[in-house]
Amino acid sequence: MVKKQVELHDKAITLLHERGVTEEDIAELVLFLQKKYIVNLTIEECVENVKAVLKKREVQNAVLTGIQLDIMAEKGALIEPLQDIVKEDEGLYGIDEILALSIVNVYGSIGFTNYGYIDKVKPGILAKLNSHEGEEVHTFLDDIVGAIAASAASRLAHDNPSKAEITK
């Protein structure tokens, strides 16, 4: 049976909050990506676009799947050798990035460029998620958050074609 979208949406938001990520945190990343290109861009506009991205089923599915795997890795519930790979955020794994691309994919080529850039720079909440402090595992979440931000930035760019450019 196909799940009701409101159920997916509410669970995705709840999980993000439980894992320490708010819409405002993601909006800060959007502002970081787009402020050079969109004059007078406000954090409120960025939050609005983050919320719009979170309404997409593809995005909700990626959030649920990625966070579930992070939580299972924290509990030691994955099969080996996947358990060690996800827990240690092994550099050659790459599936975390592939899952995040299913989010960016919805928004076309500007989304890909923004995602690649923010993944390299890791500002704000991304630095926090990548610090590997304590017992928390955010192997999937960091890429998901970066992809949601990149997608929201692409939405903004599409809405402001005269003022916006692809982030290089």
Q: Which residues in this chain contact Ca ion in the complex, by CB under 5 A?
A: 96, 139, 142-143
Name the minimum Å distance from CB 143 to Ca ion.
5
Minimum Å gap between C-beta 83 and Ca ion is 16
Distance of CA 86 to the CA centre of its chain: 17
Residue type, 41: L
Give yes or no for a contact between 157 and 110, defined as CB atoms under 8 angstroms apart: yes
Closest CB to Ca ion among 9 and 138? 138
Rank residues 45 and 143 by Cβ distance to Ca ion and give the closer one: 143
Q: Cβ of residue 16: shortest distance to Ca ion, in angstroms?
A: 15
Which tokens belong to 24? 């405002």
Task: Please give the structure tokens belonging to residue 25.
Answer: 């945190």
Structure tokens at 32: 């970081």
88 or 159: CB nearest Ca ion: 88
Q: Are 19 and 43 in contact (CB under 8 A)?
A: no
Give the shortest CB-64-to-Ca ion separation in angstroms: 17
Q: Which is nearer to Ca ion, 23 or 70 (CB)?
A: 70
